[in-house]
Structure 1
Amino acid sequence: MGFGDKAYSTLVKRDLEVERELPEQARADIPSNALRLIGAHALQSSGDQATKTSTVLPWLFYSLGVPPALTGVLVPIRESGSMLPQAFLTPLVLRVRHRKWVFVTGALIQAVTVAAMAMTAAVGSGLAAGVVIVVALTIFSLGRCLGSISSKDVQGRTVPKGQRGQINGLATIASGLVALTLGLGVRLFGGEDLRADQLAWLLAGGAACWVGVAAVYAGIREPADVESTPPAHPEAEQQAPGAVVQSWALLRDDRDFRLFVTVRSLLLVSALSPPFVVTLAVSSGMEGLAGLGSFIIASGLAALIGGGIFGRWADRSSAGLMSAGAAMASVVIVALVVIVTLPAFSEESAWSDFLFVGCFFLLTLLHTGVRVGRKTYVVDMAEGDQRTTYVAVSNSAMGVILLVVGGVSSLLAIAAVEWALLFLAGMGIVGVYAARRLPNVSHGAS
């Protein structure tokens, strides 16, 4: 047994009987491919920390003097921009024999755009800088879109059921370590002064991470006997002019897939609520790099703790994990709103900073679980090109839904941030009940 096999067997609970279901070539490459997946996704998550639309970019906009109106479009552009085009791009992806190159292309696009953000942070200011960063973020989202379409397919080809959730969890742990180190550095050495040039270096580090993602992912070996060729998929040619119609037909006719998309839509509570918690914290007077460092540390700890716990949970029941994470996130939000609306609550108290960072940590931790569960569920519920189509169509649908839900929550936030949080918590509670109808597709269910 080589070093890669020993390392993988130490990190992951393996089922050799399930591994035999993969082609012979794929079985031999499982350890090395899995370790590369872990490394690439850890670097990817680390790069994401540098461009986080819930923490880093809003603080950067504040430092550059960008009008607040532009800050409100960061999360919708980042999330919807990476999802909406997927149904349209899927026919092109299906023509690519080695899907890993789609992911590598997306990683390089993200590296270039994050580097552009870093340059803008170093030399720009005001509205012009904000517009350039928003444009770069839009192109960044397109690269993210390519990665999202292809990554699930590559993982499904190279890693068997029962190990995919653990792979996602280990990648999350690794990214958490990086985020924790970064947050501690920002917290200890950043102080209370918030300068754009400091954040420019943070963004430059993120661009370097994306270059590393591309290099590591390029070494993955996809089994040749499951690779698709253009002639094998004439339906891709037919889908291109009517991607919207084809996507709608899939949602209409595939009951289980439609239910998954519905449940995923209702479980946005853990994804969209953290920025509102940051907004509450900033409005209470929490400023400077030290404050930003606290939120980055919270993100890192959440990933570090949640990765291992939720990875194995997802392999047992990814549907149950999504439901439990959303339920607990809703409880956290309701508790926070109750506390901040109490007459005795004081924003000037040191406990207020602890409250906001603590709630941000819990929501990020629970979102880690929801995200790991969701990624594992969609990989396990289908095989081959159907998996690619499921990922693309569900993400395109979520792009539209995110714009709608984000718009409603933003309108509610104009009246009071607390109303936006309660709206998201209510959606989460409904989603928990809807998730009970999801079929269990995990290996632990068989």
Structure 2
Amino acid sequence: MSRSERVYSTLVTRSPKAAEAMPDEVRRNIPKNGMRQVVGNALQSSGDQIVNASTVLPWLFAVLGVPPSLTGVLVPIRESGSMLPQAFLTPLVLKVRHRKWVFVTGALIQSASVAFMAGTAALAEGLTAGVLIIIALAVFSLGRCLGSISSKDVQGRTIPKGERGQINGLATTASGIVAITLGLAIRAFGGEDLSPGQLAWMLAGGALLWALVAVVYAGITEPSEEGTTDSARAEESNDSPNWFAGMVALLRDDDVFRRFVLVRSLLLVSALSPPFIVTMSIQEGSNMLVGLGGFVIASGLAALIGGRIFGRFADRSSRRLMSVGAGLASAVIIAIVIAVSLPGFDGASWVGTAVFVVGYFLIRLTHTGVRVARKTYIVDMAEGDKRTTYTAVSNTAMGIILLIVGAISSAIAAVAIIWALLFLAAMGLIGVFAGGTLPDVSAKA
């Protein structure tokens, strides 16, 4: 037994029956490919913590004196920018036999973009710095788009069912460790007075992480023949510019896939509620969450605790984990709203602060489970090029839905943040029941 196989078998509960159904070439390389995906995904997830559009970049904008109006576009550009182009780019990706090279290209684009952000942080300020970083973030999102399209296909080709969720979970756990370390370092060396130079060095470290991701992923061994079906070949040869019509047709005709996209839309409860909780805590006078280090540490703890647990859960039933995650996120939001609405509630007291701190952490924890579950589900629900098409179309649809739901929740928050949170909680509760209608595509324990 090789060293990589020993390490991989220690970290991941193997699925021999699922592995037997894969080609010999794939079966021989499962441990090596698995370890490279664990390391590569962990490095990428760690880089995400450094270039976080919800924490680090807004803080950088504040330090550089960027107009506040530009801060509001960071998350939409980061999230929607990486999703919207996917259906359009899929015909190009399908022409590449080994999809790892698509991922490597995306990683290098992200590395270059973050390096540009680091240079901007060190040399520019004000409106100029804000515009340049937003442009770099848009390019970064394009690289992320390529990685998102290809990574699930690479994993589906090289890793059997029953092990994929654990790989996603291990990467999430590793990113949690990095986030906690980063958060503690920020508080120890910078506190709340981080200089542009310190943030520039932090971003430079993120650029190095993505370069390492490209190196690690380049060593993955994909099968020489994917064995595509006639229908998949037809998809591959379809380079028609009318990609939007193809996306609409897939959503209309494929019932299971359409339901998955619907459920994923309802799972936005855990993605969109944290900023509202932070804003509410500030409005109520709580200050323990103030400071970049505190936010990063909370997110890191959630990833550290949730990654390993949810990875194994997702391999048993990713469908059930999506439903449970939506329900728990909604329950946490409702509990926070009830607590804040109680007569005499004081956000500046230790009890009030605890409500926001614990609530924020629990939402991030449930979001960790939701992300691991939906990633595992879409890898398990299809094979070959169909998996690539599913990934791209679902992400493009989610980019549109994210903009719509984000606009609605923001409009409601302009009236009252509590109502925006209740709107998201209602979505999550519907998601619990919608998730139950999906077929279970995961390997059984």
| TM-score over 0.5 for the pair | yes
Structure 1 contact 186–290 (Cα < 8 Å) conserved: no
1:288-335 Cα offsets, whole Å, 9 max, x none, are: 997211111111111111111101110111010011011101111122
Which residue of structure 2 lines up, in the alignment, with residue 216 of structure 1? 216
CA–CA separation in structure 1 for the residues paired with 2:353 and 2:125: 29
Computed over aligned residues only, the root mean square deviation of the Cα atoms, in angstroms, reads: 2.1
CA–CA separation in structure 2 for the residues paired with 1:412 and 1:289: 24
Shift of 1:281: 3.8
Which residue of structure 2 lines up, in the alignment, with residue 70 of structure 1? 70
Structure 1 contact 67–126 (Cα < 8 Å) conserved: yes
Structure 1 contact 265–398 (Cα < 8 Å) conserved: yes
Which residue of structure 2 lines up, in the alignment, with residue 202 of structure 1? 202
CA–CA separation in structure 1 for the residues paired with 2:386 and 2:217: 22
Which residue of structure 1 lines up, in the alignment, with residue 249 of structure 2? 249
Structure 1 contact 324–432 (Cα < 8 Å) conserved: yes
Shift of 1:161: 0.5
Shift of 1:236: 3.3
Letter of the 1:344 partner, please give it.
Answer: G
* Cα separation, partners in 2 of 1:32 and 1:269, compared to 1, 3 Å: same
Which range moves more in the overlay, 170-179 or 237-246?
237-246
Shift of 1:348: 3.0
CA–CA separation in structure 1 for the residues paired with 2:358 and 2:212: 32
Which residue of structure 1 lines up, in the alignment, with residue 29 of structure 2? 29
1:250-293 Cα offsets, whole Å, 9 max, x none, are: 10000000000001001101111112223334445677997211
1:207-248 Cα offsets, whole Å, 9 max, x none, are: 111111111111101011217799983543434311101111
Matches within 5 A, 1:340-359: 340-359=340-359
Which range moves more in the overlay, 380-389 or 221-230?
221-230
Task: Give the TM-score of the pair, scaled to structure 2.
Answer: 0.95
CA–CA separation in structure 2 for the residues paired with 1:156 and 1:357: 37
SS of 1:119 mapped into structure 2: helix
Structure 1 contact 55–278 (Cα < 8 Å) conserved: no
Which residue of structure 2 lines up, in the alignment, with residue 441 of structure 1? 441
CA–CA separation in structure 2 for the residues paired with 1:21 and 1:101: 25
Which residue of structure 2 lines up, in the alignment, with residue 393 of structure 1? 393
SS of 2:26 mapped into structure 1: helix
Which range moves more in the overlay, 385-394 or 121-130?
121-130
Which residue of structure 2 lines up, in the alignment, with residue 5 of structure 1? 5
Structure 1 contact 276–421 (Cα < 8 Å) conserved: yes
Which range moves more in the overlay, 213-222 or 413-422?
413-422
Structure 1 contact 111–206 (Cα < 8 Å) conserved: yes
Matches within 5 A, 1:202-351: 202-226=202-226, 233-283=233-283, 291-351=291-351
CA–CA separation in structure 1 for the residues paired with 2:218 and 2:229: 20
* Cα separation, partners in 2 of 1:351 and 1:124, compared to 1, 3 Å: farther
Structure 1 contact 88–240 (Cα < 8 Å) conserved: no
CA–CA separation in structure 2 for the residues paired with 1:195 and 1:315: 43
Which range moves more in the overlay, 224-233 or 433-442?
224-233
SS of 1:226 mapped into structure 2: coil
SS of 1:241 mapped into structure 2: coil
CA–CA separation in structure 1 for the residues paired with 2:193 and 2:335: 32
1:142-192 Cα offsets, whole Å, 9 max, x none, are: 100000000000000000001111111111111111111111111222223
1:81-130 Cα offsets, whole Å, 9 max, x none, are: 11110001000000001100000110111111111112222222222221
Letter of the 1:358 partner, please give it.
Answer: V
Shift of 1:360: 1.8
CA–CA separation in structure 2 for the residues paired with 1:152 and 1:308: 19
CA–CA separation in structure 2 for the residues paired with 1:314 and 1:63: 40
Structure 2 contact 284–346 (Cα < 8 Å) conserved: no
Which residue of structure 2 lines up, in the alignment, with residue 20 of structure 1? 20
CA–CA separation in structure 2 for the residues paired with 1:289 and 1:313: 30
CA–CA separation in structure 2 for the residues paired with 1:40 and 1:11: 15
* Cα separation, partners in 2 of 1:212 and 1:399, compared to 1, 3 Å: same
Which residue of structure 1 lines up, in the alignment, with residue 100 of structure 2? 100
SS of 1:115 mapped into structure 2: helix
Letter of the 1:359 partner, please give it.
Answer: G
* Cα separation, partners in 2 of 1:181 and 1:216, compared to 1, 3 Å: same
Structure 1 contact 110–210 (Cα < 8 Å) conserved: yes
Structure 2 contact 274–364 (Cα < 8 Å) conserved: yes
Letter of the 2:100 partner, please give it.
Answer: K
Identity value in percent: 64
Structure 1 contact 95–230 (Cα < 8 Å) conserved: no
CA–CA separation in structure 2 for the residues paired with 1:322 and 1:133: 34
Shift of 1:393: 0.4
Which range moves more in the overlay, 197-206 or 429-438?
197-206
User: What are structure 1's unaligned runs of at least 5 residues?
Assistant: none
Which residue of structure 2 lines up, in the alignment, with residue 46 of structure 1? 46
* Cα separation, partners in 2 of 1:67 and 1:158, compared to 1, 3 Å: same
Structure 2 contact 43–175 (Cα < 8 Å) conserved: yes
SS of 1:240 mapped into structure 2: coil
Shift of 1:205: 1.4
Which range moves more in the overlay, 415-424 or 288-297?
288-297
Shift of 1:202: 1.8
Structure 1 contact 263–434 (Cα < 8 Å) conserved: yes
Which range moves more in the overlay, 73-82 or 114-123?
114-123
Which residue of structure 1 lines up, in the alignment, with residue 137 of structure 2? 137
Structure 1 contact 193–288 (Cα < 8 Å) conserved: no
SS of 2:175 mapped into structure 1: helix
* Cα separation, partners in 2 of 1:18 and 1:113, compared to 1, 3 Å: same
Which range moves more in the overlay, 115-124 or 221-230?
221-230
SS of 2:241 mapped into structure 1: helix
* Cα separation, partners in 2 of 1:130 and 1:303, compared to 1, 3 Å: same
Which residue of structure 2 lines up, in the alignment, with residue 147 of structure 1? 147
Which range moves more in the overlay, 192-201 or 138-147?
192-201
CA–CA separation in structure 1 for the residues paired with 2:379 and 2:311: 14
Structure 1 contact 33–158 (Cα < 8 Å) conserved: yes
